[in-house]
Structure 1
Amino acid sequence: MMERFFIKVSMIVALLLVGGATFSSCQEKQKNSMMNVDIISAVKAGNLTSVTQLLDQHVAINTANQQGESLLLLATQRNNVAMAELLVSRGADVNQQASNLDSPFLFAGASGFTKLVSLYLKNGAHFDIFNRYNGTALIPACERGHVETVRLLANTPNFPIDHVNRLGWTALIEAVILGDGSAKYVQIVNVLLQAGVNPSIADNQGMTPLQHARKKGFTNIVTLLEGK
């Protein structure tokens, strides 16, 4: 009888221990989830103090929201240089991609956030990670007329300035096709040419940047390209 009693007691104790461990584990997961939500909100709000405190409590530096947007990408979207510097100093991944393939580096380039591009270039930016169009940070920077960002990227050693995206366009082609021929696009074409892009690369229809520029009547760009 006593032996059975001790066996039952042992089983009850074991069940209580397992149940307690499971409960503690659930509590820990719930706490971590709440802290993740807190740090995402703090980054969006630009609250450096709260973000620092939460990171000191070991919240993962590469925490992401449901769209896969990392803390650093959220800071980048808001062009919050101070927040980005804090996150990078704590080891944030400048190449971490969201569900739509945006990364902090790619987004900064496309948005013309030159200070952030510079920061990310110094902290491990990869040139073989591409956006949803299979493009680099440089290509959309050219499309959108971000002269200084283009200047920085085009003159970065080993940057693939002649990369062709899924549409069949290089940075130079995109500057011509999607630009309006205004002064900033003339500058961009000149920057690209000075950086050593290959102006003879044609698109999927076999048209070169020069042919596109002539077709669109961009005389200043035509002059630059004819000089090459």
Structure 2
Amino acid sequence: MSRILPAAVALLAALTLAGCTTAGPHDQKESPMATTNPAAGDLFVAAESGDADAVRDALASGADIEARGTGGMTPLVAATKANRIETARVLIEAGADVNAKDDIQDSAYLYAGARGHDEILRMTLAHGADLTSTNRFGGTALIPASERGLLPTIDILLKAGVDPDHVNNLSWTALHEAIVLGDGSERYVRTVRALIEGGADVGIRDGDGVLPRDLAAQRGYEAIVAVIDAAS
């Protein structure tokens, strides 16, 4: 198994705990409402609970659509983390910033991509999602989607134009991450194939100078090795 660069050790520890994504500690169990403004408070509660009518009422009452709650979440980020499709829709159509990030660098776009919340993801893409935006690990939405083997999400992101060769703070692309943090199962074989077909460069080395093929071979992922060989 390849040696991980010393500079990446701390990040890898964080990845182990947080899933190398926009996920992890951001799954706050406490309410995102942390404001003295009653209308904004109502907006957060409605957004997280999925009450679209209450979201409309709160906005009509003057609630700030970009108000910040617990963890720096906006109402849209709160709705996205709860996968509340209809409240996310109301907020986005009312002009909520799909790229606004909370304190751990999650935006509605990045989180939806990382977690496979595809309906919300499509809405963010239709309303100005920044495809170059990165999470706290320096990765695009495609990288955590690939780590999790979220094939429909990967397809959406590649078709939207997300760079398949973006390198994160661990010196990994989406292809590296699918191999290193995947389990070599059929889902990850298909993930690797989708990334390659989407333009991923199999010749990019990780921070230790190791090729994706060699990372797969070291782990005994023969089917992934075969997919890479067929593309080389």
Instruction: Provide TM-score, normalisation by structure 2.
Output: 0.82
State the match for 2:3 in structure 1: none
The letter for the 2-side match of 1:107 is Y
Q: Offset of 1:109 from its aligned partner?
A: 0.7
1:161 offset after TM fit, Å? 1.3
Which residue among 191, 200, 205 is the counterpart of 2:203?
200
| 5+ long unaligned stretches in structure 1 | 1-30
CA deviation after TM superposition for structure 1 residue 90, in Å: 0.1
Q: Is residue 76 from structure 1 mapped to residue 80 from structure 2 by the alignment?
A: yes
Unaligned runs of 5+ in 2: 1-34
Which SS does the other structure have where 2:80 is aligned?
helix
Per the alignment, residue 217 of structure 1 pairs with: 220
Q: Deviations over 1:168-189 (max 9, x none)?
A: 1000000000000111111110
For the residue of structure 2 that corresponds to 1:76, the secondary structure is helix
**Offset at 1:203?**
0.6
Verify: 1:90 aligned to 2:94, yes or no: yes
CA distance in 2, matches of 1:43, 1:84: 7
What is the deviation of 1:160?
1.5
> Which amino acid is 1:163 matched to?
H
Hey, what's the Cα distance between the residues in 2 that align with 1:136 and 1:152? Answer: 13
Within a 5 Å distance, the mapping from 1:147-186 to structure 2 comes to 147-157=151-161, 159-186=162-189
- 2:137 maps to which of 133, 140, 144: 133
SS of the counterpart of 1:67?
helix
Q: Alignment partner for residue 60 of structure 1, among 64, 68, 76? A: 64
Pick one of 44, 48, 59 that aligns with 2:48: 44
8 A contact 2:166–2:173 mirrored in 1: yes
CA contact (8 A) 1:32 1:59 kept: no
Distance in 1, matches of 2:223 and 2:120, equals 31
Aligned counterparts of 1:197 and 1:79: Cα–Cα separation in 2: 29
TM-score by length of 1: 0.83
Offset at residue 155 of structure 1 (A) = 2.2
8 Å CA contact retained: 1:199, 1:208: yes
SS of residue paired to 1:61: coil
Which deviations, in whole Å up to 9, do the C-alpha atoms of 1:89-126 show, x marking residues without a partner? 10011000000001000000110111211111111000
Give me the whole-angstrom Cα distance separating, in 2, the residues matched to 1:176 and 1:211.
Answer: 10
2-structure distance, mates of 1:222, 1:50: 52
Q: How far is the alpha carbon of 1:32 from its aligned partner? A: 6.8
Partner SS state of residue 136, structure 2: coil
Contact 2:39 2:62 (8 Å CA) reproduced: no
Secondary structure class of the residue paired with 1:152: helix
Q: Residue 97 of structure 2 aligns to a residue in which SS?
A: coil
Kindly indicate which of the two structures has a greater share of residues assigned to helix: 1
Q: Following TM superposition, by how much is the alpha carbon of 1:36 offset from its aligned partner in structure 2, in angstroms?
A: 1.3
- Give the letter aligned to residue 185 of structure 2: S
2:39 aligned residue? 35
- How many residues align? The count is 197
CA-based RMSD: 1.3
Q: Which has the higher contact order (CA 8 A, sep 6+)?
A: 2
Secondary structure at the residue paired with 1:200?
coil
String of CA shifts for 1:134-189, please: whole Å, max 9, x gaps.
110000001011111011112223x2111000011000000000000111111110
- Which one-letter code corresponds to 1:34 in the other structure? P
Quote the Cα distance in structure 1 between the aligned partners of 2:46 and 2:122: 24
Q: Which 4+ runs in 1 deviate beyond 3 A?
A: none
